[in-house]
């Protein structure tokens, strides 16, 4: 991500704040934390390095309650202190946080709504890895389920709302590619042209619902799609 960001740029992307958690609008193209390779090379621009600007008087910066892929934009939840973070981790691990994603895909699923129940596993690929669908009896496979519905389509592209029921790495990307609707801009998955690959990835964490307090309604937060996705939706006749 551009070095032109000032250290407190996340203040402008803060969507929600209370005593337990924050929700920020993560920009696409910026990893949430430094990966192993970047650590070996002395670091690299990542979201965590800006968290100090989000203390709001607390003795330590907030921390990630979950992850978003580097190229995915939208709602990202942070815990403001260790007790809140433990609670949030539990909510995410138990599948009690409702997540809604928007995607623009090349290709339209044969069924315009449904569920993809396809176990996933990580496999080595060269010096890296990728996620693939796997047989249910594969010892390395993890159960994974995504519900989806097509909200608009035109010229071989689709606007899809996806809701992951499990939280596997690259889950929505792999599942949509598996039903013939790879996400435009995805650098790894699906049958995409070089032109489609070159675009920003059209996957956005649109809405999140977090039942953080027992005696209050769940915290509901939405993030507007970034400019590139908004333009792609407009081309499909959708006004976000």
**Residue 129's pLDDT band (boundaries 50, 70, 90)?**
confident
Which of 25, 69, 71, 186 is catalytic? The answer is 69
Element (H, E) at 194: helix 194-197
Pick the CATH number of 9-235 from 3.40.50.2300, 3.30.2350.10, 3.50.50.60, 3.40.50.9100: 3.30.2350.10
Element (H, E) at 40: helix 36-40
Q: Where are the domains of the chain?
A: 9-235
Q: What's the mean pLDDT in 147-156?
A: 97
| pTM for the whole structure | 0.92
CA distance 152 to 161: 10
CA distance 219 to 211: 6
Is 69 annotated in the active site?
Answer: yes
Average pLDDT, whole number, for the chain?
Answer: 91
DSSP lists the bridge partners of residue 16 as 23
| 129 contacts: CB under 8 Å, gap ≥ 6 | 122, 123
User: Does residue 108 contact residue 152 with C-beta atoms inside 8 Å?
Assistant: no
DSSP state, residue 202: -
Residue 36: the pLDDT is: 56
Does the structure show a pLDDT above 90 at 22? yes
CA distance 206 to 101: 5
User: Does residue 228 contact residue 202 with C-beta atoms inside 8 Å?
Assistant: yes
Does the structure show a pLDDT above 80 at 126? no
| 67 contacts: CB under 8 Å, gap ≥ 6 | 32
Taking residue 119's Cβ as centre, other Cβ atoms within 10 Å add up to 19
User: Does residue 167 contact residue 96 with C-beta atoms inside 8 Å?
Assistant: no
Residue 54: the pLDDT is: 93
Percent share of the chain, pLDDT over 70 = 92
**Choice among 9-18, 128-137, 155-164 with the minimum mean pLDDT:** 128-137
């Amino acid at each position: 991500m551009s070095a032109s960001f000032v250290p407190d740029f996340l203040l402008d992307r803060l969507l929600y704040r209370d005593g337990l958690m924050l929700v920020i609008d993560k920009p696409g193209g910026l990893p949430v934390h430094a990966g192993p390779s970047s650590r070996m090379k002395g670091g690299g621009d990542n979201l965590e390095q800006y968290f100090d600007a989000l203390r709001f008087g607390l003795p330590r910066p907030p921390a990630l309650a979950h992850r978003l892929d580097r190229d995915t934009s939208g709602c990202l939840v942070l815990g403001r202190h260790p007790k809140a973070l433990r609670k949030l981790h539990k909510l995410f691990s138990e599948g009690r946080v409702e997540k809604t994603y928007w995607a623009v895909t090349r290709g339209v699923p044969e069924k315009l709504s449904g569920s993809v129940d396809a176990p996933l596993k990580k496999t080595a690929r060269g010096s890296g890895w990728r996620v693939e669908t796997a047989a249910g009896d594969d010892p390395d496979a993890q159960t994974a389920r995504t519900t989806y519905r097509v909200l608009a389509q035109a010229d071989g592209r689709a606007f899809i709302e996806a809701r992951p029921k499990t939280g596997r790495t690259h889950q929505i990307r792999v599942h949509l590619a598996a039903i013939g609707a790879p996400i435009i801009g995805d650098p790894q998955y699906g049958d995409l042209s070089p032109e489609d690959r070159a675009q920003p990835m059209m996957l956005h964490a649109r809405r999140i619902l977090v039942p953080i307090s027992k005696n209050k309604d769940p915290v509901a937060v939405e993030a507007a799609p970034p400019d590139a996705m908004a333009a792609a939706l407009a081309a499909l006749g959708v006004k976000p």
